[in-house]
Amino acid sequence: MLRQSLASGHKRPMLQAPTGFGKTLTAAAVIQMALDKGNRVCFTVPAISLIDQTLDEFRAEGITDIGVIQADHPAVDWMARVQIASVQTLARRALPDTDMVLVDEAHQAFKVIFNWMADRPKLPFVGLSATPWTKGLGKHYDDLIIAATTRDLIARGFLSPFRAFAPSHPDLSGVGTVAGDYDEGQAAEAMDKPQLTADIVTTWLKSGENRPTLCFAVNRAHARSLEDEFRAAGVTTAYIDANTERDDRTKIGRAFATGLVKVVVNVGVLTTGIDWDVRCIILARPTKSEILYTQIIGRGLRTADGKEDCIILDHSDTTQTLGYVTDIKHEKLDAGRMAKGRKAEPKVRAVKLPKECTSCTYLKPAGVHVCPECGFAPARREDVATVDGELFQVQGGKTKDDRATKQRFWSGLLWYCDERGYSEGWASHKFKERFGMWPRSLRAVPATPDVHCRNYVRASQIRYAKGRGKEQKTGGAPDAA
Ligand SMILES: [Zn+2]
């Protein structure tokens, strides 16, 4: 597919494949193809700490003509036809003369790469990423090649299936948004609560089956609280983050493999090459980012001997707002904002959200009534309307939606007001229609709408278009837009 893309004139194809697809093998094959044609290749990695590992991996694949672009590195060899460089080093040095650039983890928008692309319009750049969904990536890359999806690879046995549970629901109503995701400090504050931490540990003891577990925390302080609580319960833990030295990481990895360490609490170690046999993921770090979420869950989907599945203990409500990772799909690269004066359409996708089993907290796929985990079947309610496979309680029904849900919904509606110029009255009416009350006590902070809000607004537009909505009565003209 990549060869076809390049042959048909694309200069900047993006190759999407999930963690576990065999990215190193694929990259090695692409490099070998280039070398066979007498071409030189530059392979870029997102951190200096990844250079040695990448070098080892390529050597293991039989690529030997490799140099490293990094001052004082023993493998510096400017004559080698394959050069490995970190984007940080590239930023400070002259760019190497090469015939092709492979950009690893290309969803991270590297300025140095974008500038290099702009300077050399004819030089082919191939992006590699499990999650090439960054805003504006389509302005730099010109083709999206989906080599495989997580869903495919699970179905074909190359990735592990998973079972997700939602044991606790944090109150994120006061957490603001920075660059599209939760404000880190505020999210840490919302998550670093004694009761929540205790719940994370007791849930793991009860349902974690003593599995090798990777726990995602918001920041260092939050990670420390979690470690303390696990230790107090007699569970051996370790901590890693992006600054952990490779040797230490290897040591911890070994202890993890032998069961000496059961739970590794981490902050943001997604691209640092954690290649372990993880069978349980604790999500204690809420995120609005499909990229981050997919990368996190990807750490638990590697197959291994004797591994039947991965248990996801989601204490962050992420699965319920973003859906299963297997349902996240983008057919095109994001082209970013449209020309000045025109607003880009908000992305509206009908992701079918899983629903929590009220008996065992298992997150059931949309539309599944009887819990596959515990067999519990909730009583059917008549005041529930089905919209795009998701259940909404309609006006008049007793709502058990908590404050956080209401705040998210309200903030989402305010975002539509900002984006589309709708009045706040429109938002208030939409809110009342959904919850049967006015959003009086909620904070007027716009935030990117979650799937729930987007689906609701979209469904009400469909109702309006069909002429049987209540919008006409309230004069909700914006819905016609
Ligand atoms: Zn259940």
Q: Answer yes or no: do 173 and 60 share one domain.
A: no
Distance CA 187, CA 175 (A): 6
Is residue 392 classed as helix, strand or coil in its secondary structure? strand
How remote is the CA of residue 419 from the centroid of ligand 1, in Å?
39
pLDDT of residue 447: 87
Q: Are residues 104 and 178 in the same domain?
A: no
Distances (CA, A) of 239 to 45, 91, 304, 313, 403: 24, 30, 23, 19, 33
- Ligand 1 centroid distance, CA of 379 (Å): 13
Overall domain count for the chain: 3
The pLDDT tens digits for 203-220 are: 999 999 999 999 999 999
Do 314 and 393 belong together in one domain? no
Tell me, yes or no, whether 105 and 248 share the same domain: no
Tell me how far the alpha carbon of residue 35 lies from the centroid of ligand 1, in angstroms.
54
Would the pLDDT of 400 be above 90? no
Integer angstrom CA distances of residue 388 from 313, 350, 454, 462: 26, 7, 11, 11
The pLDDT value given to residue 479: 43
Task: Answer yes or no: are the C-beta atoms of 98 and 40 closer than 8 Å.
Answer: yes
Does 154 reside within a domain?
A: no
Ligand 1 centre and the CA of 76: distance in Å?
Answer: 57
The label of the residue with tokens 């997700």 reads 164
What residues make up the domain containing 437?
381-480
Same domain, yes or no: 320 and 189:
yes
342 lies in a domain? no
Residue 153 lies in a domain: no
Do residues 282 and 422 both lie within one domain? Answer: no
Compute, in angstroms, the gap from residue 196 CA to the centroid of ligand 1.
Answer: 21
**179, 83: one domain:** no
Looking at the fold, whether 225 and 314 belong to one and the same domain comes out as yes
Q: How confident is the model at residue 5 (pLDDT cuts 50, 70, 90)?
A: very high
Reported as a pLDDT band with limits 50, 70 and 90, residue 91 is: confident
Residue 398 has pLDDT above 50, yes or no: no
Tell me if 375 is assigned to some domain.
no
Task: Give residue 210 CA to ligand 1 midpoint distance, Å.
Answer: 20
* Pair 391, 441: CB distance under 8 Å: no
Query: Ligand 1: distance of its center to the CA of 377 in Å?
Result: 8
- Whether residue 176 is found in the same domain as residue 322: yes
The answer, yes or no, to whether residue 384 has pLDDT greater than 50, is no
CB 160 within 8 A of CB 302: yes
pLDDT score of 65: 96
Of the residues 90, 121, 148, which one is the last residue of a structural domain? 148
116 and 71 inside one domain: yes
State the distance from the centre of ligand 1 to the C-alpha of 102, rounded, in angstroms.
45
**What mean pLDDT value characterizes the chain?**
87
pLDDT score for 473: 46
What is d(CA 409, CA 356) in angstroms, rounded to the nearest whole number? 19
Q: What is the pLDDT of residue 348?
A: 52
pLDDT value of position 128: 96
Tell me what pLDDT residue 392 has. Answer: 42
Beta strands 13-16; 143-146: pairing state: parallel
Kindly tell me if the per-residue pLDDT of 340 is higher than 80. no
Q: What is the CATH number of the domain that holds 175?
A: 3.40.50.300
Please report, as a single letter, which amino acid is at residue 115. Answer: N
Tell me if 371 is assigned to some domain: no
Question: 434 CA distance to ligand 1 centroid (A)?
Answer: 27
Q: Where are the alpha helices (DSSP H) in 8-110?
A: 23-36, 51-60, 87-92
**Is the pLDDT reported for residue 396 higher than 50?**
no
C-alpha to C-alpha distances, 36 to 3, 33, 165, nearest whole angstrom: 14, 5, 49
Cβ–Cβ under 8 Å, residues 240 and 266: yes
pLDDT at position 23 over 60: yes
Separation of CA 165 and ligand 1 centre (Å): 9
pLDDT of amino acid 337: 66
Distance, in Å, from the CA atom of 413 to the CA atom of 422, rounded to the nearest integer, reads 9
Establish if 6 belongs to a structural domain: yes
Q: Which of 113-117, 165-169, 398-402 is the least confident region? A: 398-402
Averaged over 64-70, what is the pLDDT?
Answer: 94
Structure tokens at 352: 């079918």
Q: Per-residue pLDDT tens for 439-465?
A: 888 888 888 888 888 888 888 877 777
Q: Are 237 and 305 in contact (CB under 8 A)?
A: no
